């Protein structure tokens, strides 16, 4: 698992696989109930395998320790 955080845009991406090839994520599934200031999307491949998680408004949705340990995107 690898987390990238873009502080300027307050977005984070959690990769659950070592490498996601261009075009591999064929579907984004929105997740409800995260919070008013955050949006979460699950990226899945053609087989339905979860590749990664995109968090918009990450500062309000993810623990500060996680964001501090992430790499800058």
Structural domain boundaries enclosing 38: 2-72
Q: How many domains does the chain have?
A: 1
pLDDT digits (tens, 9 = 90+) for 19-50: 888 889 999 999 987 777 899 999 999 999 99
pTM given for the model: 0.85
What is d(CA 31, CA 18) in angstroms, rounded to the nearest whole number?
A: 23
pLDDT interval class at 4 (50, 70, 90): very high
Share of the chain above pLDDT 70, in %: 97
Read off the tokens for 7: 């502080």
């Amino acid at each position: 698992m690898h987390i990238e955080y873009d502080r300027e845009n307050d977005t984070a991406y959690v990769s659950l696989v070592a490498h996601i090839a261009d075009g591999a994520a064929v579907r984004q599934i929105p997740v409800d109930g995260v919070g008013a200031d955050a949006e979460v999307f699950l990226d899945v491949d053609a087989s339905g395998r979860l590749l990664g998680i995109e968090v918009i408004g990450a500062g309000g949705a993810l623990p500060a320790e996680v964001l501090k340990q992430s790499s800058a995107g």
